[in-house]
Structure 1
Amino acid sequence: MKKFGLLEYPHKESLSKKVFNEYFKKANIDAVYEDIVIVPDNFDDEINKYINSYDGLNVTVPFKEKVIKYVEPVEEAKEINAVNCIFNNKGYNTDWKGFYNSLNPSMLKEPIVLVGAGGASKSIIYALYKMGIKKLFLVNRTVEKAEKLKKIFLSKIDIKIESFDHLQSIIRTSKTFINATSIGMFGESFNLEVRDLSNLSLIYDIVYNNTPLQKIAKENNIKCIDGRTFWYHQGVENLKIWHIYTPEIFDETFKTFARGE
């Protein structure tokens, strides 16, 4: 039996575990997908054990950067400085492709505002650069973290950093709003009113659940792409890397979960 898993901390029941295990069943693949919790202090001692004993791995926060020195990162993973998929000791970043493949570049109207400066933001900025976007506004609660991100992409994209306090005024003059934070995961909202969003043509929210932001977008006929779509496209890339991708069966499996069944 093949073994796949997600390296994470703290423990949460991942969408990956649910969808991939169901997919393996439907596709008659003799495999299992597990959520693997590593306490951050033990990461350096334990990581090689998992890389050597699993056929493929995914990596989520807080380990996407830390794992790089234990694998051979491919070019994109090097440039983004984050790995979220491992196979045959190579490190890949499928997050940027998940974003890239989830929308047609023509949907992206400028100005673009991105909220968040974590691991997902790095992949999104890289994808935007690959789509030909030359500049964007980056809003984050911690300006220092945003500055670090700006430095990584200095030669690729012009990033203007704004404080969280200015979010409302920036969104009012933007066309595309991307949320790369966990805001909304537990029902939190950005405290934005309908009139703040009236100029937008696209809201992209990487959170899986139906967040207040997604609801307000749908109620006001603003094109909205959610975290499940983002997950689907990077999930496809994971399966391709692991050489176990059957499009029709994966689509059928994913649709079951997308409908919340």
Structure 2
Amino acid sequence: MKKWYAVIGDPISHSMSPSMHSKWFADLSIDATYIPLHIKRDRLVNAVQSLKCLGASGWNVTIPHKETIIPLLDRLDSTAAMMGAVNTVVVEEDGSLTGYNTDGIGFVNSLEEAMGTNLKELPILIIGAGGAARGIAFALKTQGYKSISCANRTIESSKRLINDIEGDRALSLSQAESELAQFLIIIQTTPAGMKTSEVDMPMSLENVTSSAIVADIVYNPLLTPFLAEAKDRGARCLNGVGMFVHQGAFSFQKWTNRKPDTKQTIEQVEQTLGGPHVNR
């Protein structure tokens, strides 16, 4: 019987996951399909039950469900449990649900692929404290990055994240703005700048240094207002395409035990969206 997979989120119309996974299924001659499902916050419980009843073999989870889906799963792998966020669900043979998080390692792979591997001593600022931020923070810490701080609109969330990873500092957005020159890797993890977002910028980059690496995990559009300002100020910039492709590839492997071609896919996604990584 043909298998099927999905991505759930709100919003979801912007997602390129269906086209990416469908191409991988075709490239590897796997008889499966992948669809987007727009699931509102208050329908998540019903949606998970429906996905199981309708025979989905697994699904990806995006904003705003990465944390709230956890109580609906039967188990988490150690990485997702440590991060407190899930972006990949596998339906096991007995029908139980296992949650994984591939966001963090997907981002680290993208960062090092684009900027090199000698970055572990650089001071890092993560903007945002949601599911994606947690995944990235834990992955960076696990991979040996030394100095990680977090800034968020709600500083209590920043403090929780920093405490959980034994990081450096929890900052308000205004504090981070004034002290931005101290950070040499700045990672924007909020929805700000997405085509579906009403917010363009999470914070000002007036004080960013030209020697900084500025990353935005948003991949559509390629050049968010955040990256555009960073580019204008001379920083090296990284958009979200690499993370998007690498996290998807790890999800794909969880479902199929097959490894897709990430390099070719990154090039194809960038071409579709209108250009390469920005100002690397």
Report the more deviating stretch, 55-64 or 39-48: 39-48
How many residues are treated as equivalent by the alignment? 255
Which runs of no fewer than 5 residues in structure 1 stay unpaired?
none
Q: What is the distance in 1 between the residues matched to 2:65 and 2:58?
A: 16
Q: Which has the higher helix share?
A: 1
Q: What is the distance in 2 between the residues matched to 1:220 and 1:165?
A: 19
Q: Partner letter of residue 178 of structure 2?
A: S
Q: What is the distance in 2 between the residues matched to 1:215 and 1:20?
A: 29
Q: What is the distance in 2 between the residues matched to 1:84 and 1:62?
A: 11
1:55-103 deviation line (CA, Å, top 9, x unaligned): 1211112222222232311111111111111112221111111122223
Q: Partner letter of residue 83 of structure 1?
A: V
Task: Give the TM-score normalised by structure 2.
Answer: 0.81
Q: What is the distance in 2 between the residues matched to 1:17 and 1:247?
A: 14
Q: What is the distance in 2 between the residues matched to 1:201 and 1:254?
A: 23
Q: Decide which of 214, 227, 247 is 1:203's aligned counterpart.
A: 214
SS in 2 for 1:183: coil
Q: What is the distance in 1 between the residues matched to 2:120 and 2:234?
A: 16
Q: Relative to 1, partners in 2 of residues 1:101 and 1:77: Cα closer, same or farther, differing over 3 Å? A: same
1:114 and 2:126 aligned: yes
Shift of 1:235: 1.1
1:80 and 2:89 aligned: no
Q: Decide which of 199, 205, 218 is 1:192's aligned counterpart.
A: 205
Identity in percent? 29
Corresponding residue for residue 68 of structure 1: 70
Report the more deviating stretch, 126-135 or 79-88: 126-135
Corresponding residue for residue 241 of structure 1: 254
Q: What is the distance in 2 between the residues matched to 1:7 and 1:134?
A: 33
Shift of 1:192: 2.5
Q: Partner letter of residue 47 of structure 1?
A: V
Q: What is the distance in 1 between the residues matched to 2:120 and 2:138?
A: 14
**Any conservation in 2 of the 1:109–1:176 contact (CA below 8 Å)?**
no
Q: Decide which of 137, 142, 145 is 1:130's aligned counterpart.
A: 142
Q: What is the distance in 2 between the residues matched to 1:204 and 1:241?
A: 26
CA RMSD of aligned residues (A): 2.3
1:163 and 2:172 aligned: yes
Q: What is the distance in 2 between the residues matched to 1:39 and 1:164?
A: 28
**Any conservation in 2 of the 1:51–1:57 contact (CA below 8 Å)?**
no
Q: Partner letter of residue 136 of structure 1?
A: I
1:2-27 deviation line (CA, Å, top 9, x unaligned): 10101212442311012222333343
Shift of 1:253: 4.0
Shift of 1:216: 4.0
After TM superposition, list the pairs within 5 Å mapping 1:213-252 onto structure 2: 213-218=226-231, 222-243=235-256, 245-248=258-261, 251-252=263-264
Shift of 1:106: 1.5
Q: What is the distance in 2 between the residues matched to 1:19 and 1:132?
A: 30
**Any conservation in 2 of the 1:137–1:159 contact (CA below 8 Å)?**
yes
Q: What is the distance in 1 between the residues matched to 2:62 and 2:146?
A: 28
**Any conservation in 1 of the 2:123–2:146 contact (CA below 8 Å)?**
no
Shift of 1:158: 2.4
Report the more deviating stretch, 114-123 or 4-13: 4-13
Q: What is the distance in 1 between the residues matched to 2:11 and 2:193?
A: 19
Task: Give the TM-score normalised by structure 1.
Answer: 0.87
SS in 2 for 1:137: strand
Shift of 1:218: 4.2
Stretches (4+) displaced over 6 A: none
Q: What is the distance in 1 between the residues matched to 2:204 and 2:14?
A: 28
